Amino acid sequence: MGFPGHPTGQDGLDTRAPLIDPFGRSVTYLRVSVTDRCDFRCVYCMAENMTFLPKKDILSLEELDRLCSAFIDKGVDKLRITGGEPLVRKNIMTLFHDLSRHLASGRLKELTLTTNGSQLARYADELADCGVKRINVSIDTLDADKFHQITRWGHLDKVLEGVEAAKRAGIQVKINAVALKDVNEHEIPDMIRWAHGEGHDLTLIETMPLGDIEGDRTDQYLPLSRVRADLMDRFTLTDIPYKTGGPARYVEVEETGGRLGFITPMTHNFCESCNRVRVTCTGTLFMCLGQEDAADLRAALRASESDDLLKLAIDEAISRKPKGHDFIIDRVRKAPAVSRHMSMTGG
């Protein structure tokens, strides 16, 4: 943890130099969690009774803007805002409006959002005004009762209203669905037909063992290799080189003409082309989703009004970005491999 703390220039570091990690990978993609709070309690993500962080620990909207802007100065050109649920953070649109200046200047190529969609009907137009062109909306099932069971507190109709509003606002929507054994496993073909029929890409995600959820993760885990094999009985899947800058591998579904992505951290290692890092809402930078090593950027942010210390802290952290991760669900203790929840780093 931490940053070297030496003033700019003393060690000859260029605070605008691009971010290249020890394995030669350029870091150009930043995911920022703007809150650990959420209006849902998805069973694979959170326990029902979560203790959230005290406000003073959370970066203010101004600090988030400074932090994102420092990364953009250092060559990050894709920014994803996530959470917790980013759209439940008070005044979150201020951050989107502020960050949109980097889109206008051309230094930022893409500003995106991952959301559960509950507040999307309210914010879709404003997001579009801020230059958001693509968003990810998480929907694991199209069965309203099952949706309520998975999210514990969510309502499918509100989310679908949000997706419609985003579409009307001209925002391209990608649907993310976590594949859950026995829960939505048999519904995946219907979800493909629905998503593609509505003009959305669909990405399936394997559950990752992040954080204690008061349950047994080995019960939820469904390898996407199995899902894919089952889908091939019904659909013609053709591998395509389509890339969104994320870890998904895409196929085209011949019968629907749509794209289907697979994110398989448990069965396939996607680390070799990793260009991303993640910051939590407390300003902790994780260089790898599957490793504990982190750097405290909040201390650097709050130590000085200038961004030089912050940029040095970022450089120092990127020099420690590991080669890859090693997710395992501990089948004896059934404990997660990494103790923090996905809602901390935002996926």
Binding-site ranges for ligand SF4 (CB under 6 A): 38, 40-42, 45-46, 83-85, 116, 138, 343
In the list ligand SF4, ligand SAM, none, the entry touching 46 (Cβ below 5 to 8 angstroms by class) is: ligand SF4
Show the site string, 43-62: x = touches ligand SAM by CB under 6 A, - = not.
Answer: -xx-----------------
**Contact between 328 and 22 (Cβ < 8 Å):** no
**138 assigned binding-site residue:** yes
Q: Helix (H, G, I), strand (E, B), or coil: what is residue 190?
A: helix
Show the site string, 258-277: x = touches ligand SAM by CB under 6 A, - = not.
Answer: --------------------
Q: Which of 205, 248, 251, 337 binds ligand SAM (CB under 6 A)?
A: 205
**68 assigned binding-site residue:** no
**Contact between 118 and 84 (Cβ < 8 Å):** no
Residue whose structure tokens are 């326990």: 47
The upper half-sphere exposure of residue 22, i.e. CA atoms within 13 Å in the direction of its Cβ, equals 10
Q: Which of residues 65-84 bind ligand SAM (CB under 6 A)?
A: 82-83
Q: Is 287 in the site for ligand SAM (CB under 6 A)?
A: no
The smaller minimum CB distance to ligand SF4, of residues 137 and 313, is found at: 137
Q: Which of 15, 115, 184, 280 binds ligand SAM (CB under 6 A)?
A: 115
Q: Which residue is nearest to ligand SAM (CB)?
A: 347
Strands 258-263 and 29-33: unpaired
**Contact between 108 and 72 (Cβ < 8 Å):** yes
The smaller minimum CB distance to ligand SAM, of residues 69 and 138, is found at: 138
**38 assigned binding-site residue:** yes
Q: Which of 69, 112, 119, 138 binds ligand SAM (CB under 6 A)?
A: 138
**281 assigned binding-site residue:** no
Q: Is 203 in the site for ligand SAM (CB under 6 A)?
A: no
Q: Which has the closest alpha carbon to 42: 162, 199, 164, 214?
A: 214
Residue whose structure tokens are 């991303």: 276
Nearest 10 degrees: Cα torsion 122, 126, 132, 137: 0
**Contact between 64 and 283 (Cβ < 8 Å):** no
**Contact between 46 and 269 (Cβ < 8 Å):** no
Between CA 315 and CA 306 the distance in angstroms is 16
Q: Which of residues 10-39 bind ligand SAM (CB under 6 A)?
A: 38
Residue 202 forms beta bridges with which residues? Answer: 175, 260
Instruction: Report DSSP letters for 150-168, one per residue.
Output: HHSS--HHHHHHHHHHHHH
**Contact between 111 and 99 (Cβ < 8 Å):** yes
Q: Is 178 in the site for ligand SAM (CB under 6 A)?
A: yes
Q: Which of 36, 85, 201, 316 binds ligand SAM (CB under 6 A)?
A: 85
**333 assigned binding-site residue:** no
Between CA 61 and CA 57 the distance in angstroms is 12
State the nearest-atom distance from the C-beta of 343 to ligand SF4, in Å: 4
Between CA 201 and CA 217 the distance in angstroms is 27
Cβ-based neighbour number of residue 109 at 10 Å: 13
State the nearest-atom distance from the C-beta of 86 to ligand SAM, in Å: 7
Strands 249-253 and 258-263: antiparallel
The smaller minimum CB distance to ligand SAM, of residues 283 and 336, is found at: 336
In the list ligand SAM, ligand SF4, none, the entry touching 210 (Cβ below 5 to 8 angstroms by class) is: ligand SAM
The smaller minimum CB distance to ligand SAM, of residues 45 and 72, is found at: 45
- Give the footprint of ligand SAM on this chain (CB under 6 A): 38, 44-45, 82-83, 85, 114-116, 138, 176, 178, 205, 207-208, 210, 342-343, 346-347
Binding residues for GTP: 31, 80, 114, 174, 276-278
Binding residues for S-adenosyl-L-methionine: 44, 84, 138, 208
